[in-house]
Amino acid sequence: MEYRVKEVADLAGVSVRTLHHYHEIGLLVPASTSSSGYRLYTEDNLERLQQILFFKELGFSLSGVKEILEKPDFDRKAALTTHKELLVKKRARLDEIIETVEKTLSSIEGGIKMADKDMFKGFDMEEIERHQKKYSEEAKQKYGRKMVEAVEEKTSQYGIDDWETINAMTNSIYKKIGDRMEHGPADPAVQEEVAKWRQLITDHFYECTTDIFRGLGDLYVMDERFTKNIDRHKEGLAAFLREAMHVYCENHEK
Amino acid sequence: MEYRVKEVADLAGVSVRTLHHYHEIGLLVPASTSSSGYRLYTEDNLERLQQILFFKELGFSLSGVKEILEKPDFDRKAALTTHKELLVKKRARLDEIIETVEKTLSSIEGGIKMADKDMFKGFDMEEIERHQKKYSEEAKQKYGRKMVEAVEEKTSQYGIDDWETINAMTNSIYKKIGDRMEHGPADPAVQEEVAKWRQLITDHFYECTTDIFRGLGDLYVMDERFTKNIDRHKEGLAAFLREAMHVYCENHEK
DNA sequence: GTAAGCTATGACGTTACGTGAGGGTCAACA
DNA sequence: TGTTGACCCTCACGTAACGTCATAGCTTAC
């Protein structure tokens, strides 16, 4: 019994073009050809295709598959062994990447800038290190040294659930403040939320002195990454929040 | 402060060509150009490059990265969310593939053909199903119905350690028999190992009647996948084993 | 005999760069 | 001042694994 391209394609779940391609590169040559030039595949061809798809699915390149199928089991074993190590590494990296994505998501939602360290997890650290250092110093000037270090230390422990809790609280505070913007930054309800905000930072990130808190307020206006994010809740919220935080600091310094 | 291509490349750990490419496609356009046509990058360019590498590392295509960087945080979030799902699926598939590779390795070592089911874990089952059925029927004719089903059921429970134990035992038996080939298939020491072999099959795969055992011996000679594998231990072992198994069956049938 | 559905062979498109080729630029060193 | 050597530029083709037409012949059922 012989099969033509489309039949084989449907049987194996690949495209006709793929079979043409495999023929072109000599990976799967049909057993015979009809008088009119049609490719005719046999059961043996199907079996080989099966094998090809198997190794391909394991992530081997077509040339790799070709080699493997040409060589005895002994070489297959070596190929599979080294390949397995590759796969395991790949998975480890995937795990880190997924974690990073999750944190990035959380940080976007909460308007909290993720620690630089996390931003580069899974990257080629050696190559990137020099720039990283520079960036780090810049951050230190802007945000204050204590903050960066403390955040790095604390947040490294957090899991997804922690981030989600923090986000929920942050969002709640932003919303309440946004809803009372017309009452001005000194509004008691606003000031109450601002106090909660400072507490949240102290609890989850670093000890937030009034000096730092004031600087943080400035940051919300000066750094567009923050501004954009905060203003997503309500237009002008970042600027308003900054005023409210300054008012708060005035009242809480002895 | 401005940087030239090589500096940026070294800083970020990418190739000069990559920067050229990013320029070509408008993903990272240097802030200015020197009189002699040199690309001049600024700190801002570096920061953007950082972002590009970040999203690229998360598996986005360059056009995807471009979109993300052009749109506000809101879209970033959506993109990341759907992307995360992709990554999780990818990891799940990787897990299955790794498992399959491990089993394939074990089966190669032991010369034991892995259950078809495992061979196709992680594949596009629907597309492949029809052929699979055909293959399965063929197998049933050859190996006997009971055997296929029993193997499928039992081996599905095995972990890596189990396979390794089985392999170790198999190898030991093959080696001992191989070492006594010159004494002929009826040699008592050979027959002792053959008995162990039958016991191993009964213990780990299916109840191995003398009929099946004899058929299995034939299979070792008729199916080159087995022949090749067994002869790797010693040239002609497959054929010798078949004889020894037949002798054994003669003596153990009432 | 004709239309639907399949087949064939080009051949260019895609992604993210790698890898020269051929030829200017810049800074230091003799 | 000339000359290295390290760096820069712009083509432009190569890679992997096919996708996607375009153009044209084959098969088969009605």
pLDDT in tens, A99-138: 777 776 776 665 544 333 233 233 322 322 332 233 333 4
CATH 3.50.50.60 corresponds to the domain A72-254: no
Answer for the pair A116, A133: CB distance below 8 angstroms, yes or no.
no
Tokens representing A159?
Answer: 């899991």
Task: Mark which residues 62-91 of A lie under 8 Å from B by CB.
Answer: 72-74, 76-77, 80-81, 83-84, 87-88, 90-91
3-class DSSP state of A189? helix
B37 touches strand D (CB under 7 A): yes
B58 near A CB under 8 A: yes
Cα separation, A11 vs A242, whole angstroms: 65
Nearest to B151 by CA among B160, B139, B169, B134: B139
The domain limits of chain B are: 5-70, 108-252
Per-residue pLDDT at A174: 87
Which whole-number Å values give the CA distances from B57 to A93, A100, A101, B53, B245, in the listed order? 10, 10, 10, 6, 57
Secondary structure E strands in chain B: 32-33, 39-40
Per-residue pLDDT at A229: 66
A50 near B CB under 8 A: yes
Residue A183: pLDDT band with limits 50, 70, 90:
very high
In the predicted structure, residue A139 carries a pLDDT above the cut 50: no
Per-residue pLDDT at A192: 95
Residue A94: pLDDT band with limits 50, 70, 90:
confident
Pick the CATH number of B108-252 from 3.30.1340.30, 3.40.640.10, 1.10.490.50, 1.10.760.10: 1.10.490.50
Q: What is the mean pLDDT of each run of 10 residues along chain B (254 residues)?
A: 92 92 94 94 87 80 86 64 74 75 67 35 29 34 46 55 65 88 93 92 77 77 67 82 92 82
Per-residue pLDDT at B121: 30
Per-residue pLDDT at B249: 92
By CA distance, what is B7's nearest residue in A?
A131
Interface test with A, best of B18, B51, B54 (most A CBs within 10 A): B54
Q: CB distance A77–B108 less than 8 Å?
A: yes
Per-residue pLDDT at A140: 38
What residues in A contact B68, CB-CB < 8 Å? Answer: none
> What tens digit of pLDDT does each residue of A19-63 get?
999 999 999 999 999 999 999 999 889 878 988 987 887 778 899
Task: Mark which residues 194-233 of A lie under 8 Å from B by CB.
Answer: 228-229, 232
- β-strands A39-40, B32-33: how paired? unpaired
Continuous segment of H or E residues that includes residue A182: none
Pick the CATH number of B5-70 from 2.60.40.1080, 3.90.280.10, 1.10.1660.10, 3.40.50.300: 1.10.1660.10
Phi-psi label, residue B236: left if phi above 0, alpha if psi -120 to 50, beta otherwise: left
Per-residue pLDDT at B138: 39
Per-residue pLDDT at B107: 65
Averaged confidence pLDDT in chain A: 74
Cα separation, B46 vs B49, whole angstroms: 5
Tokens representing A82?
Answer: 């080294």
Per-residue pLDDT at A21: 94
Per-residue pLDDT at B186: 93
Share of chain A above pLDDT 70, in %: 67
Kindly report the CA angle at B145 between B143 and B149, in degrees rounded to 5?
105
- What sign does the dihedral B171-B177-B181-B185 (CA atoms) show? negative
Cα separation, A97 vs B84, whole angstroms: 9
Which whole-number Å values give the CA distances from A228 to A111, A147, A162, A212, B34, in the listed order? 9, 22, 24, 21, 34
Answer for the pair A15, A9: CB distance below 8 angstroms, yes or no.
yes
Which range, of A69-83, A165-179, B164-178, B200-214, averages the lowest pLDDT?
A: A69-83
Query: How many residues are present in chain A?
Result: 254
Q: Which position has the token pair 């390795």?
A: B105
Per-residue pLDDT at A73: 58
B124 near A CB under 8 A: yes
